[in-house]
Amino acid sequence: MPHLRTLCVYFLVALSPVMTNTMTEDLDVLVFLPQNNSYLFSYERVAPAIRYAQKRLKADGGQYSGFNFNIQFENSDCLYDAFFTLADRSCGQKPDLILGPVCEYEAAAVVRLASHWNIPVISAGALATGFANKNKEYSHLTRIAPPYVKMAETFTAMFEHFSWRSALLVFEDDREQRNCYFTLEGVYHLMSNYNIESYVLTDDKPLDTDELLRSISDMEVVIMCMGAEKIREIMLAAHKRQMTTGKCIFFNVELFNASSYGNGSWKRGDEYDNDARQAYAALNTVTLLRTVKPEFENFSIEMKMPFEKVGLHDCNDCENVNMFVEGFHDALLLYTIALHEAMKNGYSKKNGTEITSRMWNRTFEGIAGQVSIDANGDRNGDFSLMTMINVEAGTYEVVANYFGVNGTFQLLPAFNTEHFTLKGGDKDHPEKTDKSDTPCKCGLGVSALTGVIVGAVLGAVILVAFYFFRKNYRITIERRTHGEECDSGKHRQLREDSIRSNFSAA
């Protein structure tokens, strides 16, 4: 059979009169994105980028223009929607490629099933450390945005460079998307050789700056991930207690190029602005490296146009190109390159293993710059370090860049070593051995483990629920339509169409 298929491909190639190098293939792409615009990766924001990529591939007139993408968008609610939608396709309508979902728990279920079905999945999410294990259940997952553990490399590189040894991880755990939890889990995972402790904020345990600052007192570095307002509150409190004078180095992680996680901006127009400006002189921000190339400008402008036309009101900074928008654009590009190469070598589009392996260990030109996927199918990340360079004016600048592809730091002219030098040497790690003896210093370790367990249990529950659901569902259908539940799927198609009538567009 594979031979016949190959023959068929060669036939089509031979029949294509003008472009001898062009392959022709119809491809079903299933995309999972939330309709809810409160997500940075909502359908409204990301779909234009995928269509932009599709249009460019088609228009190139080159080797990829023979691929016809049939792109279908489905809702993702960051819970079960995507998984159920995919599971409903078990009767012969399996897609050739899945893009998304982004949310960790939802992605886990979808990627497991897709890997089992030999379908490649590319996501600009699924950033948690657990997805790095591609040996089995996540075998077909390619991560087109740098996972959290890649961001953590920036910290290990700095810790090495400045010989820091201890850090307190301060983060907010919303117990839903858990972005900050998973972000600093990456740091915790990568920095097991250092003295790392953690301080978690939850709904049940609101911010108590006194308690927090006591935990900081014997740490050299503080790494924070939480909303911009809480960061300001902490910095103000630290400033009041003179902890911002170099006894401690403060960092915040600005996720996804989104200002909601604190972009280093201290200004609020309130009475604390002056103190905040001085406090933020001690705060350093780690964020995605921003690259600009001519094509990106055009892309950026095109992404803005739909919003200017419609004028969405429920969408904050919708017009900004964030990591997800860029990622899903590049995802279609990467798949196309890998598919083309696989087909040229005689494989079919249905060989997900082969296509997936051709997406890994590869560097290509993405919309914003070079994209490098490591040998494990995860994108290498480039990050910037920003600090306040003018305390009078309170202005920020990028002072160093970290390149994940070669693990090197590039120090820019504005970089000032003094700024990162610890002062007041009385905590030069004398009682280090004492501390490592204390049994309960593994705060995040325990909670990271529970995270994994919760994930596994959740997955199992969903699977069991699904089989029950499926069984009952099948029985009722059999009664009604005399066992044709696996026919061409017309009935189901109709039902699905009516459910998503106001969503699916392509």
41, 324, 331 from 365: Cα distances, Å: 22, 17, 11
CA–CA gap between residue 136 and residue 139 (Å, rounded): 5
Per CB under 6 A, the segment of 40-48, 144-152, 214-222, 296-304 that binds ligand NAG is: 296-304
CA dihedral 255, 259, 262, 265 (to 10 degrees): 140
Question: By CB under 6 A, is residue 301 in contact with ligand NAG?
Answer: yes
Question: By CB under 6 A, is residue 256 in contact with ligand NAG?
Answer: no
Per CB under 6 A, the segment of 317-325, 327-335, 385-393, 473-481 that binds ligand NAG is: 317-325
Question: By CB under 6 A, is residue 290 in contact with ligand NAG?
Answer: yes
Query: Out of 20, 163, 193, 406, which residue is the one contacting ligand NAG (CB under 6 A)?
Result: 406
- Sketch the per residue contact string, 209 through 248, with ligand NAG: x for CB under 6 A, - otherwise: -------------------x--------------------
Query: Out of 4, 14, 18, 38, which residue is the one contacting ligand NAG (CB under 6 A)?
Result: 38
Q: What tokens appear for 171 in the block? A: 């983060």
Per CB under 6 A, the segment of 255-263, 386-394, 413-421, 481-489 that binds ligand NAG is: 255-263
Is residue 269 left, alpha or beta, with left meaning phi > 0 and alpha meaning psi from -120 to 50? left
Strands 195-201 and 166-172: parallel
Q: Tell the smallest beta-carbon distance from residue 459 to ligand NAG (Å).
A: 22
Per CB under 6 A, the segment of 184-192, 320-328, 475-483, 491-499 that binds ligand NAG is: 320-328
Query: Out of 86, 321, 332, 338, which residue is the one contacting ligand NAG (CB under 6 A)?
Result: 321
Question: By CB under 6 A, is residue 280 in contact with ligand NAG?
Answer: no
Burial of 274 (0-12, 13-18, 19+ CB in 10 A): exposed
Cβ proximity to ligand NAG, 370 vs 421, nearer residue: 370
CA–CA gap between residue 268 and residue 4 (Å, rounded): 67
Distance, CA of 459 to chain centre: 20
Contact set for ligand NAG, span 148-207 (CB under 6 A):
none
Per CB under 6 A, the segment of 82-90, 398-406, 454-462, 477-485 that binds ligand NAG is: 398-406
Contacts of 94 (CB under 8 A, 6+ apart): 117, 119
Report the 10 Å Cβ neighbour count for 25.
Answer: 16
SS3 25: strand
Question: By CB under 6 A, is residue 68 in contact with ligand NAG?
Answer: no
Contacts of 219 (CB under 8 A, 6+ apart): 166, 167, 168, 197, 248
* Position 382, amino acid: D
Strands 221-225 and 362-365: unpaired
Contacts of 69 (CB under 8 A, 6+ apart): 27, 29, 54, 57, 332
Cβ proximity to ligand NAG, 133 vs 408, nearer residue: 408
How many residues of this chain interact with ligand NAG, rule: CB under 6 A?
28
CA–CA gap between residue 104 and residue 138 (Å, rounded): 12
Per CB under 6 A, the segment of 43-51, 277-285, 294-302, 420-428 that binds ligand NAG is: 294-302
Distance, CA of 313 to chain centre: 25
Q: Tell the smallest beta-carbon distance from residue 265 to ligand NAG (Å).
A: 4
Contacts of 277 (CB under 8 A, 6+ apart): 266, 267, 391, 394
- Sketch the per residue contact string, 350 through 369, with ligand NAG: x for CB under 6 A, - otherwise: -x-xx------x------x-
Cβ proximity to ligand NAG, 250 vs 256, nearer residue: 256
- DSSP E strands in 404-465: the ranges are 408-411
DSSP category for residue 88: G
Q: Tell the smallest beta-carbon distance from residue 208 to ligand NAG (Å).
A: 23
SS3 199: strand
SS3 181: helix
Cβ proximity to ligand NAG, 237 vs 325, nearer residue: 325
Cβ proximity to ligand NAG, 216 vs 388, nearer residue: 388
Query: Out of 127, 249, 288, 448, which residue is the one contacting ligand NAG (CB under 6 A)?
Result: 288
Q: Tell the smallest beta-carbon distance from residue 203 to ligand NAG (Å).
A: 14
Residues near ligand NAG (CB under 6 A) are 2, 36, 38, 228, 257, 259, 263, 265, 288, 290, 298, 301-302, 320-322, 326, 347, 351, 353-354, 361, 368, 375, 403, 405-406, 408
